[in-house]
Chain A
Amino acid sequence: MGFLNNVFNTIKGYGNEANDAFVDTQGIRIMEQEIREAEAHQRKANESLTDVMAEQKGIARKVNDLKASVQEYAEAIGKLLDAGNETLAMETAEKLAELETNLDSNQAILDSYNEQVKELKAIIKDSAKQMAALRREVSIIKSTEAAQQASAATAAQFSGSNSSLRSASASMARIKAKQQKRKDKMKSARELAKEATGGDLNDKLAAAGVIGNQSSASSILDRYKKTN
C-alpha cells in the first residue's frame, strides 16, 4: 500500500465523530510492529551475511589453492611428456583429474556463496529502505495527530464543548474593521506629525500658489529668465 494510502487509513477525523480517536492507534501500533519486524529481518540478514562471507572467504581460498595446484600439475605433465616419462605423466594426469573435479565442485559452492552474499546485501538494503519509509510514515502521522489535537484543543477553547469554530465571516469583518482603524490611526499620526513640523501649511500654500514648490531645475531656469 502506498504511503498516502496508509496515512489516510491511519488518520481518522474525516468522519467528524466527536468521540473518535484522532488517529487510529491500532494503525500506528501495526506500523511500529512492522518497523520492529523489518529491524529483526535486517539483523538476521546481517548475521547470515557475516556467516556466509566467512564461508565464502574459506572456499575462495580453497579454490585459489586448487587452481594453483591444477596449474602446477598441468605444467608437470607437459615437462614429463617432454622428458618421455609417460608413466609418471599418466600418474600425474590421474591426480590432475581428481584436482579438477575437486576444483569444479568447490567453484560451484563459491558461486552459490557469491550469489547468497548478493541476495543478503539486497535484503539488507531493502529492509533499511522499508524501515526509513515506515519511520517517516509514523513521524508524519504523529505530527498530523499533534496538529489535530492542537486544533481540537483550540476549537474547544473558543466555543466550549461545541467543536464548531466562531463564525469566520463575523471574525473577518471585525478584523478588517480593526485593521482599518489601525491604518486610520497611523495616517492621523502621520498627519499630526506633518502639521507639527509645518509641512501641512506649506503644502496648502504651495497648492494655493502663494509659495513656490520645491526647487527644481526648471524653476531655477524660470527665475533666471525672469531676471534677464
Chain B
Amino acid sequence: MNNSLDKVQAALADYITEDGNRFSVTETKNDTFTMLTIIRDDIEEFAILATASDSQLLFNVALFDKSQIIAGQSPALHTMMLELNMAMPLSSFALTGANYSIFGAMSTESDASQIQEEILVLSENIMDALEVCQHFLIKA
C-alpha cells in the first residue's frame, strides 16, 4: 500500500507545471493509515490528501463543510454537483461526513505521468469547483 504512495511522492518530487507551479508533499503515518498531504504552491489552503488501498489511489480535496452552506440551499447545491460531476475533468464531487470535497481515483498501477496529470487536473479543478459552489455558500 505504501509503495503506491511512494510512487506518488516520486512522481511529484521534481515536477513543475507549465505555469511554474510546484507541489510539496508531506507524509503522515499513524497506526491505522498513511496519507500524503500534497500542496500546490499557489493554492496552499486546499491540500490534496492522497491515500491508497491495494487497488486504488485516492486524491481528495476538502472544499467546505455543511455549516458553510446557506440555509435551505443544500438540495440545490447537491443537484448542481451531480449535474457537474460528468463535466468536471478527471474529478468528482463527494460528501464525506460533513465535508464536501472533490476527488480523483486511479489505479495503483498508474505511472508517474498519469499521477502528475491527475494531480494537476485535480488542483486546477479546486478553484473552478469553489467558484461554482460559492453561490450556495455563506459569504465570509
What is A's interface to B at a CB cutoff of 8 Å? 13-14, 16, 22, 136, 139-140, 142-155, 163-176, 178-179, 182
CB-based contact A147/B98 at 8 Å: no
Q: Does B63 contact A (CB under 8 A)?
A: yes
CB-based contact B55/A136 at 8 Å: yes
B52 contact set on A, CB distance < 8 A: 143, 146
CB-based contact A154/B53 at 8 Å: no
CB-based contact A168/B137 at 8 Å: yes
Question: How far is the CB of B35 from the nearest CB of chain A, in Å?
Answer: 4
Partner of B66, one of A16, A139, A173, A182: A16
Complex alpha-carbon distance, A168 and B95, angstroms:
15
CB-based contact A13/B51 at 8 Å: no
Q: Does B15 contact A (CB under 8 A)?
A: no
Of residues 114 to 140 in B, which have CB atoms within 8 Å of A's CB atoms?
Answer: 127, 130-131, 133-134, 137-140
CB-based contact A142/B45 at 8 Å: no
CB-based contact B62/A154 at 8 Å: yes
Determine the main DSSP class of B at the interface with A.
mixed
Contact status of A155 and B139, CB under 8 A, knowing A136-B55, A171-B45, A172-B130: no
Residue among B53, B56, B97, B101 with max Cβ neighbours from chain A (10 Å): B97
Residue among A14, A146, A176 with max Cβ neighbours from chain B (10 Å): A146
Q: Does B109 contact A (CB under 8 A)?
A: no
Contact status of A168 and B64, CB under 8 A, knowing A16-B97, A140-B53: yes
CB-based contact A146/B58 at 8 Å: yes
A143 contact set on B, CB distance < 8 A: 51-53, 55-56, 58
CB-based contact B140/A139 at 8 Å: no
CB-based contact A154/B139 at 8 Å: no
Q: Does B111 contact A (CB under 8 A)?
A: no
Q: Does B86 contact A (CB under 8 A)?
A: no
CB-based contact B42/A179 at 8 Å: yes
Complex alpha-carbon distance, A22 and B97, angstroms:
8
Partner of A149, one of B32, B66, B68: B32
Q: Does B103 contact A (CB under 8 A)?
A: yes
Question: How far is the CB of B22 from the nearest CB of chain A, in Å?
Answer: 13
Chain B interface residue count, CB cutoff 8 Å, equals: 44
Q: Does B49 contact A (CB under 8 A)?
A: yes
| 5 A-B pairs with the lowest CB-CB distances in the bound complex, closest first | A143-B53, A170-B140, A168-B64, A146-B51, A150-B35
Q: Does B13 contact A (CB under 8 A)?
A: no
Question: How far is the CB of B104 from the nearest CB of chain A, in Å?
Answer: 11
Partner of A165, one of B53, B64, B134: B64
CB-based contact A165/B35 at 8 Å: no
Partner of B58, one of A22, A147, A167, A168: A147
Question: How far is the CB of B61 from the nearest CB of chain A, in Å?
Answer: 9
CB-based contact A151/B97 at 8 Å: yes
A169 contact set on B, CB distance < 8 A: 68, 130, 134, 137-140
Q: Does B6 contact A (CB under 8 A)?
A: no
Residue of A nearest to B131 (CB): A172
Of residues 61 to 88 in B, which have CB atoms within 8 Å of A's CB atoms?
Answer: 62-68
